[in-house]
Structure formats: C-alpha cells, structure tokens
C-alpha cells in the first residue's frame, strides 16, 4: 500500500509566502474609508495596523520573505502532516485518491496561528505593546493570545457574550495564555455602551465585538488591532499551508484535480488553494478549487458582490466582497468560525471572475461527513473543517459513478475537541438544519451601504 502519512523536513518549511495578487488578472477594488467613501490611505490604517502589514495588504510582489523568528515559531508544529485517506476511500468505494492537509496539530488546534504569529511579530517590530481583537467562539482569540505571549505583548479579547457564557473552554484557554477576555458587548467602549443602552441583555455578535476591538485599538497609541481572517495579509500568511501541501503531493507523485477548503472569512481556503491556483492563473492548469460554506451563512453562493462594512458599527473600511450585509446575524450553527457575513476580497474577486467554485451545505449533512471521517480516519474534525470533508466525500462519490480516479485534496483546518457538545447533539438526533430564508437574505442585503 502507498504511504499514508506524507511528512516534510523542518528545513522544508517555506521561506516565503505566496502573494496571489501578483498573478490575478483583476485585483480587488480598493478599500474605502467608512466615513468619506474615498479610498483608504495607508495613513488612516496606521491607527490600527503596523506598517509591514499595511504594505502586505497592497503589494503585488509575488514572494514575501517569512522572517526567521516567525519560521522558528512555525517549527513548533510545522511542517504539518498530509495524509492519504485510505480507509475513507475504501469506505466510499471510490477510485478517487483523497489527501488532506491537517492543521489541527498546531498548539491552537487550527490554522489560525499561521497568521497570529507573524501579525504579532510585525506589531512588536513597530513598537506596539498591546493588541485588541474580537473572537466568536474563541478560536482566533486563543491563537492570538498565545502569539502575544510568545512576543511579550498584552492581549485584550472581546468575546461574543453568548460564547463567553456558554463555551467556557476556549475562554479559559485564552486566560491561560495570559489574555484579558471581556464579554462583548461591554461598557469598555462607546460601541459596546450604545448596544447595551438599547439592548441590556444583548448576547453580542462578531460584528459588535469587532467594533469594540477596533475602537479600543484606534483610541490608544500603544495598541493595535488584529484580524484573524478576511484581509489580504491573513490569506498571504496562510499560504504556508498550500506551499507545503504542494511539496507533499509532489513527494507522493501527485497533483490535485480538485482542492477543497471550508470558507468562513476565506483564510484557510485561500492558504491551501492559492499556491495551486497560481498554476491555473499562470499556466492554465485545469484545477478546480471549491470553497465550502454553511447554508445558514451562504456568503459566496447567495450573497452579493458589493462594498460593505466589516462590522455593525461601521467602523471598518468598506471592502468589496461577497456579503450578506453587515447587519446580518446568521443562525447559531455549530460551525461558529463560518458565521461571518462577508468574505475575503481576494477569494471574492476570484469567485466573481470564475477562477474558483463555491458550494453550501446544511449542518446535518456536514456532521454526517464528520462522523464518517472520524470513524475511518481517527480524527474528530472541527465542525468548520467538516464542511470541506462533506464536499470531498461528495466529489469522491461522483468519481465512483464516473469511474474517474481523480486526486482530491482538502484542508482539515482544525480538530473538534472543543466541539464535542455539538457532536453529542448530532448523535442524539437533535441537530437541525437552518437554511437561510429569502426574507432574511433580502433583509440583510437591504442594509448594504450606497457607494457612489
């Protein structure tokens, strides 16, 4: 039997990130200032981001060097393993060859440390002492608090109140890594106080928490803001995933026909797919890349390609992206990391121009795939990652029909050890699908800003 686990040497950790903006025929439209509607100047961004990240946000340089100190920390868990899913293939009786790249081996249990580390590195280099951020269920917050601890920065995390109260484990993880964790909405910011004045019992949302963190960072010279997805520099940092995966498949003598990733803000999908899409953009490779989202938050498949805010208080720049509207609050599905109203402008532009595909699934189908994967491959996947598994299984089943031995690569962005309550609900038969109604879709889109 061919190899199951494809490993790289430490020396094979990429030395450079891949910037897809070098190869895109159409670049994303420029971000606009939330108040003036004019393109944002680097100066305006410098209130919340360090210079290196502002530059990475816009550069068209194809390769950007990964600082040695960042590679040193990447060595804690990188290169991450790639597996051939032999037992899953047999269970599906498919001629397809299925590979997955596993980011759950990181100390944060997911891909987010790939960008948390360089973001904190560049902030420290700029003399910043403290970082403010938001977190939903605590996935980004725990990665960032760990990275801040490594570099000696303070970390304040505004955590969506409902998760703060109901999902204590990642909150405790963040405290363990030394972060200050605040339930959002809070009385620490104007944005939080405004919400609380109107809705004292508000359980919060990611949009509100972003508003609080941005306000906190903008108001203090020693503090910057950090975002765990969506932005160009985040997608850039995540390309270590795809660059390693390319090398691993090369070792196995393979090249993928299909690359699949789950898509919340788009960063793990981008990280895996962009280095392969480079071959499609520059050499015309016939490669399919599929972004997978929940039907409760179907940003690419049902959203609108338009300028929108990243947050409810309209503090962030306007980004042109697929969006369900900045006021949209998705149903409380278990894949919390996929509940964002917008999407990466890079992923959005590539989708708009037909370079990538998108598909949406309900959570019962997703958990069925997650359980089948756990039982064949031995890894309990994060509910987010299970969206990619669902799509990979469906592609493999199509191969069973057609008899084509396609090579399928998917990203397993994290493990589900903090999500076992969701598994319990599924196993008890109590999990429900919550597709987005046409009315809720129209309501969310009716609040898109008018851009002249």
Ligand X SMILES: *Cc1c(COP(=O)(O)O)cnc(C)c1O
Q: Which is nearer to ligand X, 97 or 298 (CB)?
A: 298
Q: Which is nearer to ligand X, 156 or 229 (CB)?
A: 229
Q: Which is nearer to ligand X, 138 or 256 (CB)?
A: 138
Strand partners, 292: 262, 359
Per-residue tokens: 349: 């532009």
Q: Where are the alpha helices (DSSP H) in 59-204?
A: 68-74, 86-92, 113-125, 139-151, 161-166, 168-176, 190-198
Q: Does 393 bind ligand X (CB under 6 A)?
A: no
Q: Minimum distance from CB of 392 to ligand X (Å)? A: 14
Q: Which residue has the tokens 């149903």?
A: 331
Q: Which is nearer to ligand X, 185 or 337 (CB)?
A: 337
Between 97 and 116, how does the x/- string for binding to ligand X read (CB under 6 A)?
Answer: -------------x-x----
Q: Which is nearer to ligand X, 345 or 399 (CB)?
A: 345
Q: Is 35 exposed, middle or buried (0-12, 13-18, 19+ CB in 10 A)?
A: exposed
CA-CA distance, 132 to 208, in Å (whole number)?
14
Applying the rule CB under 6 A, the residues between 43 and 72 that interact with ligand X are none
Q: Minimum distance from CB of 231 to ligand X (Å)? A: 10
- Residue 204 CA to its chain's centroid (Å): 20
Which residue in the set 48, 92, 262, 369 belongs to the binding site for ligand X (CB under 6 A)? 262
CA nearest to 151, candidates 175, 127, 180? 127
Q: Minimum distance from CB of 266 to ligand X (Å)? A: 5
Residue nearest to ligand X (CB): 414
Q: Minimum distance from CB of 67 to ligand X (Å)? A: 22
* Span near ligand X by CB under 6 A; candidates 5-13, 90-98, 175-183, 257-265: 257-265
Q: Does 232 bind ligand X (CB under 6 A)?
A: no
Q: Which residue has the tokens 């057609």?
A: 402
Q: Which is nearer to ligand X, 266 or 330 (CB)?
A: 266
Which residue in the set 128, 360, 382, 409 belongs to the binding site for ligand X (CB under 6 A)? 382
Which three-class secondary structure state does DSSP give residue 289?
strand
Q: Does 275 bind ligand X (CB under 6 A)?
A: no
HEC profile of 34-70: CCCCCECCHHHHCCCCCHHHHHHHHCCCCEEECCHHH
Which residue in the set 337, 345, 362, 444 belongs to the binding site for ligand X (CB under 6 A)? 337
Buried b / exposed e over 220-243, threshold 16 CB at 10 Å, is eeebbbbbbbbbbbbbbbbbbbbb
Applying the rule CB under 6 A, the residues between 191 and 230 that interact with ligand X are 229
Q: Which is nearer to ligand X, 189 or 229 (CB)?
A: 229
All residues at 6 or more sequence positions from 199 whose CB lies less than 8 Å from its CB, including other chains: none
Q: Which is nearer to ligand X, 195 or 350 (CB)?
A: 350
Q: Does 311 bind ligand X (CB under 6 A)?
A: no
CA nearest to 389, candidates 282, 257, 290, 264? 290
Q: What is the size of the binding site for ligand X (CB under 6 A)?
A: 19
Buried b / exposed e over 364-394, threshold 16 CB at 10 Å, is ebbbbbbbbbbebbebbbbbbbbbbbbbbbb
Strand partners, 70: none
Which residue in the set 265, 298, 303, 325 belongs to the binding site for ligand X (CB under 6 A)? 265
Which residue in the set 114, 156, 211, 385 belongs to the binding site for ligand X (CB under 6 A)? 385
Q: Does 413 bind ligand X (CB under 6 A)?
A: yes
Q: Does 414 bind ligand X (CB under 6 A)?
A: yes
Which residue in the set 119, 156, 205, 268 belongs to the binding site for ligand X (CB under 6 A)? 268
Q: Is 47 exposed, middle or buried (0-12, 13-18, 19+ CB in 10 A)?
A: middle
Q: Which is nearer to ligand X, 119 or 267 (CB)?
A: 267
CA nearest to 336, candidates 270, 290, 387, 375? 387
Q: Minimum distance from CB of 136 to ligand X (Å)? A: 8
Q: Does 267 bind ligand X (CB under 6 A)?
A: yes
Interface contacts to ligand X, rule CB under 6 A: 110, 112, 139, 229, 262-269, 337-338, 382, 384-385, 413-414
């Amino acid at each position: 039997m061919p190899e199951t686990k494809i490993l790289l040497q430490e020396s094979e950790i990429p030395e450079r990130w891949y910037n897809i903006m070098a190869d895109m025929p159409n670049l994303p439209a420029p971000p606009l200032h939330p108040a003036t509607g004019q393109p944002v100047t680097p100066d305006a961004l410098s209130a919340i981001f360090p210079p290196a990240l502002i530059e990475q946000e816009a550069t068209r340089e194809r390769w950007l060097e990964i600082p040695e100190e960042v590679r040193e920390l990447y060595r804690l868990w990188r290169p991450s393993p790639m597996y051939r899913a032999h037992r899953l293939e047999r269970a599906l009786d498919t001629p397809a060859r299925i590979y997955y790249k596993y980011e759950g081996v990181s100390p944060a249990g997911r891909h987010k440390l790939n960008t948390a580390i360089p973001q904190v590195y560049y902030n420290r280099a700029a003399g910043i002492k403290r970082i403010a951020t938001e977190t939903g269920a605590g996935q980004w917050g725990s990665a960032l608090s760990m990275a801040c601890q490594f570099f000696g920065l303070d970390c304040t995390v505004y955590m969506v109140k409902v998760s703060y109260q109901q999902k204590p484990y990642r909150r405790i993880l963040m405290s363990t890594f030394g972060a200050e964790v605040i339930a959002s909405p809070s009385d620490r910011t104007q944005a939080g106080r405004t919400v609380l004045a109107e809705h004292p019992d508000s359980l919060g949302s990611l949009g509100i928490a972003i508003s609080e963190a941005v306000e906190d960072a903008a108001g203090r010279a020693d503090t910057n803001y950090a975002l765990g997805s969506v932005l160009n520099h985040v997608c850039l940092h995540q390309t270590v995933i795809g660059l390693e995966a390319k090398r691993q498949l090369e070792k196995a003598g393979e090249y993928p026909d299909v690359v699949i990733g789950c898509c919340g803000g788009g960063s793990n999908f981008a990280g895996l797919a962009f280095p392969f899409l480079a071959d499609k953009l520059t050499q015309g490779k016939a490669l399919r890349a599929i972004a997978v989202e929940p039907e409760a938050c179907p940003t690419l498949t049902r959203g609108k390609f338009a300028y929108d805010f990243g947050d409810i208080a309209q503090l962030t720049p306007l980004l042109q992206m697929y969006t369900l509207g900045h006021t949209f609050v998705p149903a409380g599905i278990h894949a919390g990391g996929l509940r964002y109203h917008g999407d990466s402008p890079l992923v959005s532009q590539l989708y708009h121009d037909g370079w990538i595909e998108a598909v949406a699934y309900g959570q019962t189908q997703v958990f069925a795939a997650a359980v089948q994967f756990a039982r064949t491959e031995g890894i309990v996947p994060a509910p987010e990652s299970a969206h990619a598994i669902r799509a990979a299984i469906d592609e493999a089943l199509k191969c069973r029909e057609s008899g084509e031995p396609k090579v399928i690569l998917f990203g397993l962005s994290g493990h589900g050890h903090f999500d076992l309550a969701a598994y319990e609900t599924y196993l008890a038969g109590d999990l429900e699908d919550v597709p987005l109604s046409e009315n809720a879709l129209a309501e969310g889109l009716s609040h898109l800003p008018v851009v002249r």
